[in-house]
Amino acid sequence: MSFLKRLGYYLGGFSIGLVFLFYFLDGKKTEFNYSPDARVLNNLSKKEWIYKSGVSQSLQLDSLTVAEIIRRGDIDFGLSDTKRDSCRLYLVETKIGIKEYNLEVENCNKKVKVLSVEILNE
């Protein structure tokens, strides 16, 4: 069998597979989070948020800003404590506009507690 025939069969099967994949996954909230960063941020975004007293009032942060920090953020695993049994501690770093944010959160089973927010460029 020549190379062109094999390539044609491969591309035909591949395209049929893509059509089936898009058909079955269409309309579903399917996410492909392969990196550890993306998995943790996705887990954080799905939970109920609790703010430590005085965190959001002192910096005048609203929940939309915190959601944007989580959506655009990167986890610093070197400064995070992921070996805890109960609630793991993560440091989320991001830059929105000219401001850089460091968000320290405690990820428990059903809730996320915001411990501190630091604005670096203000």
**One domain, residues 23 and 39:** no
Which carries the bigger pLDDT value, residue 122 or residue 119? Answer: 119
Q: Give the residue-averaged pLDDT of 24-37.
A: 76
Considering 4-8, 20-24, 77-81, 83-87, the range whose residues carry the highest mean pLDDT is 4-8
Whether 116 has a pLDDT exceeding 90, the answer reads: no
Give the pairing type, strands 99-107 and 48-51: unpaired
Query: Model-level pTM greater than 0.85?
Result: no
**One domain, residues 40 and 23:** no
Work out the percent of the chain whose per-residue pLDDT is above 70. 89
**One domain, residues 43 and 58:** yes
Report phi then psi at 119, rounded to 5: -105, 120
**Number of domains comprising the chain:** 2
The pLDDT value given to residue 98: 85
Whether 122 has a pLDDT exceeding 70, the answer reads: no
**One domain, residues 20 and 71:** no
Asked whether 80 and 89 are in contact (CB, 8 A), the reply is: yes
1 beta partners: none
**One domain, residues 48 and 107:** yes
Q: What is the rounded CA–CA span in Å between residue 29 and residue 37?
A: 19
**One domain, residues 5 and 19:** yes
The pLDDT value given to residue 17: 92
The pLDDT value given to residue 15: 95
pLDDT tens by residue, 38-93 = 888 988 888 888 877 766 555 566 777 778 888 888 999 998 988 888 889 999 99
**One domain, residues 104 and 48:** yes
Range of the domain at 52: 34-119
**One domain, residues 15 and 71:** no
**One domain, residues 39 and 88:** yes
**One domain, residues 23 and 44:** no
